[in-house]
Amino acid sequence: MLLHGGDREEARNRFRALWDQLGVDGDPLHRCTLARYMADAQDDPDDELAWDLRALSAAEGAGGRPPVRRDTAVALRALRPSLHLDVAADYLALRRTDAARTHLDRARAAAGALGDDRYGKGVHAAIERLERRLGNV
């Protein structure tokens, strides 16, 4: 509510406190979700990228964490295309087009995990929009 209400600083403070509580061994889905929100709360594009990369790392199981429950693994797999898309958009904002294209390709490759529902269609449409933007750079 704080983030959407415009109090980005307080949102960052509270997200940071939750992040510290989760710790490095926290549930990957919780870490992924929280890092995504934290990315959205950033004012600096480099900081936004850093948090989106943390979200992606949590979804991909970086850091040698123990295997997650099956339902969590399915949820994280469905988030990967969107996470790569976020990272691609961050890189584009930073004018790092090669890195943006790499993550756009990864988003497209991971999109097979998406269902034929509103979320899946929305991510596919966002991939196409970013592809057009990159084509104009």
Contact 38, 15 (CB under 8 A): yes
Give how many domains the chain has, as a whole number. 1
What are the pLDDT digits (tens) for 24-44? Answer: 888 899 999 999 999 999 999
pLDDT band at residue 97 using 50, 70 and 90 as cut-offs = very high
pLDDT at 100 over 70: yes
Question: What is the pLDDT at residue 107?
Answer: 97
Contact 83, 32 (CB under 8 A): yes
What are the pLDDT digits (tens) for 8-24? Answer: 888 899 999 999 999 88
- The boundaries of the domain holding residue 65 are 2-135
Question: What is the pLDDT at residue 68?
Answer: 60
Count other Cβ atoms within 10 Å, centred on residue 81. 24
Angstrom distance (rounded) from CA 126 to CA 110? 14
pLDDT at 65 over 60: no
CATH number, residue 105? 1.25.40
Q: Output the pTM of the full model.
A: 0.88
Q: Which two tokens stand for residue 86?
A: 């976020």
Contact 71, 34 (CB under 8 A): no
